[in-house]
């Protein structure tokens, strides 16, 4: 989506008309990039072109490739509690053991984003994910964070810090997509 079309999509009447014929759909910048959960230190990289200054979310999707429901063990590792129900202030040491199981096991990933022209680091963070952003019988998603990006070319690198025992049979992919339809200047 070009910045001009994006700006038209933000207009009340024109945007509504464009949205009804699917002209305002904003595709993910990165989708279905495979991640190896079974081995520590493995990483994936992807080149992305950011067309509009927005904040983007990086999501980790884990699913059963056969389409069957996740096993009880996999659900206990990934978690069953939604992200809205657990936040950074949650102290797992103070949470009852039975309730703590619904949060899942923390998973660590290192995320780096560099501008392509000069390799300048614009985002670097080690994320310990906990709880799920979305869930279905055969899939769970976790957020790896939100990244504000200005127009331009970037290189994204995601490293699995720890091996995730018990999730080897799952297919894991990452996706980078806009989280908001408001420009960065309006979010500040």
pTM: 0.77
Segment 114-144, tens digit of pLDDT = 999 899 999 999 998 888 888 888 889 999 9
| 90 pLDDT higher than 60 | no
Domain boundaries, the chain: 28-187
Residues of the chain with pLDDT > 90: what percent? Answer: 40
Predicted confidence at residue 68, as pLDDT, reads 87
Q: List all residues 6 or more positions away from 35 whose beta carbon is below 8 Å from its beta carbon.
A: 42, 44, 60, 158, 160, 172, 173, 174
Strands of the sheet containing 54-63, edge to edge, are: 30-34, 171-178, 54-63, 139-149, 134-136
Residue 149 to residue 155: CA distance in whole angstroms: 12
Residue 105 and residue 70: Cα distance in Å, rounded? Answer: 15
Q: Is the pLDDT of residue 178 over 80?
A: yes
Per-residue pLDDT at 182: 44
CATH C-level class of 28-187: mainly beta
Residue 157 has pLDDT above 50, yes or no: yes
Q: How much is the average pLDDT of 71-85?
A: 81
């Amino acid at each position: 989506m070009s910045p001009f079309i994006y700006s038209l999509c933000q207009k009340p009447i024109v945007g509504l008309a464009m949205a009804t014929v699917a002209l305002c759909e904003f595709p993910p910048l990165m989708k279905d990039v495979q991640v190896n959960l079974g081995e520590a230190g493995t990483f994936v990289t992807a080149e992305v072109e950011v067309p509009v200054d927005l904040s983007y979310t990086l999501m980790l999707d884990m699913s059963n490739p056969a389409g069957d429901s996740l096993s009880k063990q996999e659900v206990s590792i990934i978690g069953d509690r939604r992200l809205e129900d657990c936040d950074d202030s949650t102290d797992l040491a103070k949470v009852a053991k039975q309730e703590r199981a619904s949060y899942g096991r923390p998973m660590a990933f290192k995320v780096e984003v560099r501008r392509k022209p000069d390799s300048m680091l614009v985002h670097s963070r080690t994320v310990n994910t906990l709880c799920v952003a979305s869930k279905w019988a055969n899939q769970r998603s976790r957020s790896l964070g939100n990244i504000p990006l200005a127009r331009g070319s970037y290189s994204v690198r995601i490293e699995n810090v720890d091996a995730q025992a018990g999730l080897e049979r799952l297919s894991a992919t990452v996706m980078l997509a806009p989280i908001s339809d408001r420009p960065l200047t309006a979010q500040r």
